[in-house]
Amino acid sequence: DTAVSQTPKYLVTQMGNDKSIKCEQNLGHDTMYWYKQDSKKFLKIMFSYNNKELIINETVPNRFSPKSPDKAHLNLHINSLELGDSAVYFCASSQVWPLLLDTQYFGPGTRLTVL
Amino acid sequence: KNEVEQSPQNLTAQEGEFITINCSYSVGISALHWLQQHPGGGIVSLFMLSSGKKKHGRLIATINIQEKHSSLHITASHPRDSAVYICAVGLQYNTDKLIFGTGTRLQVFP
């Protein structure tokens, strides 16, 4: 059983399109995250949700909108895609908040390519 | 300058060698994490520590809070240890935000 799953694994799209990436965890965790890994493999947190409530919203363009319909899901919707949005996006979850008390479980990543 | 620095950036070793990867940080932290990113891209959390030392199999992680430094050691390295090892710190006053180092790419040859 996959603990943290993301769909799709690969996403290729044109500039200006709107796309979504879905994330689900079956671990019963309370907290979920979205990270962006750029072409230099540098990871940066984008959002953190605890019990469906937004905890962290880093300096991410408002074209990115996370949505958490329930504790097990945290989806990422991106409007008006730009070339610079090309990256690998990782979803993660942890059992408790704050994170300093727990380890994270990562999804397999979604490689987004904007043409 | 990044708040979390790792060294070396790249490391090659022969199977069986003892490996050390270093992480230095310049901010107050609540905890430090070591992550492993496989060549296929998957990320696994190896350790979370706020003091002292932790061991899991052939992996050992240490942290010195006063010196703001952590090390990840791999004993009896194996080609399957080849991966990118990433250090991340949880900020002292923002306990849910991780700041990541740039990673150390390790290749272990048979």
Name, in order, each residue with C-beta under 8 angstroms of B39's C-beta and a sequence gap of 6 or more.
B82, B83
Show the CA angle centred on residue B72, arms to residues B71 and B73, nearest 5°: 115
- Amino acid B84 reads V
What are the beta bridge partners of residue A48? A33, A56
Helix (H) or strand (E) holding B23: strand B19-25
The per-residue pLDDT for B95 is 60
In chain B, what residues touch A109 (CB-CB under 8 Å)?
A: 41-43
Strand pairing class (A87-94; A31-37): antiparallel
pLDDT band at B98 (very low <50, low <70, confident <90, very high): confident
Q: What percent of chain A has pLDDT over 90?
A: 65
Q: Give residue-wise pLDDT tens across range B21-71.
A: 999 999 888 889 999 999 888 899 999 998 999 999 999 999 999 999 999
**Token pair recorded at residue A29:** 């965790």
CA pair distance B43, A101, nearest whole angstrom: 19
What are the tens digits of pLDDT across the range A38-75? Answer: 988 889 989 888 888 887 777 788 999 999 999 899 99
A28 CA to chain B: closest CA distance, Å? 18
Task: Give the pLDDT confidence score for residue B63 in this predicted structure.
Answer: 96
What is the model's pLDDT at position B91?
A: 81
Which of B31, B41, B48 comes nearest A108 by C-beta?
B41
% of chain A beyond a pLDDT of 70: 93
A67 Cβ contact list (under 8 Å, min separation 6): A74, A75, A76, A77
Using the predicted structure, report yes or no on whether residue B4 has a pLDDT greater than 90: yes
Q: How far is CA A16 from CA A6, A56, B8, in A?
A: 23, 26, 39
Question: Is the Cβ of B10 closer than 8 Å to some Cβ of chain A?
Answer: no
Nearest to A98 among B45, B95, B102 (CB): B95
Q: Which residue has the higher pLDDT, A86 or A99?
A: A86
- Greater confidence (A2 vs B83) lies with B83
State the pLDDT confidence band at A99, using cuts at 50, 70 and 90.
low
- Confidence class of residue A1 from pLDDT cuts 50, 70 and 90? low
Q: Is A84 helix (H, G, I), strand (E, B) or coil?
A: helix
- DSSP type of residue A108: -
Burial of A112 from C-beta contacts in 10 A (0-12 / 13-18 / 19+): buried
Report residue A97's pLDDT band, with 50, 70 and 90 as the boundaries: low
Question: Residue A104: pLDDT band by 50, 70, 90 thresholds?
Answer: confident
B96: left (phi over 0), alpha (psi -120 to 50) or beta: alpha
On whether the CB atoms of residues A64 and A18 are closer than 8 A, the answer is no
pLDDT at B53: 95
pLDDT of residue A39: 86
d(CA B109, nearest CA chain A) in Å: 22
Chain-chain contact of B90 with A44 (C-beta, under 8 angstroms) = no
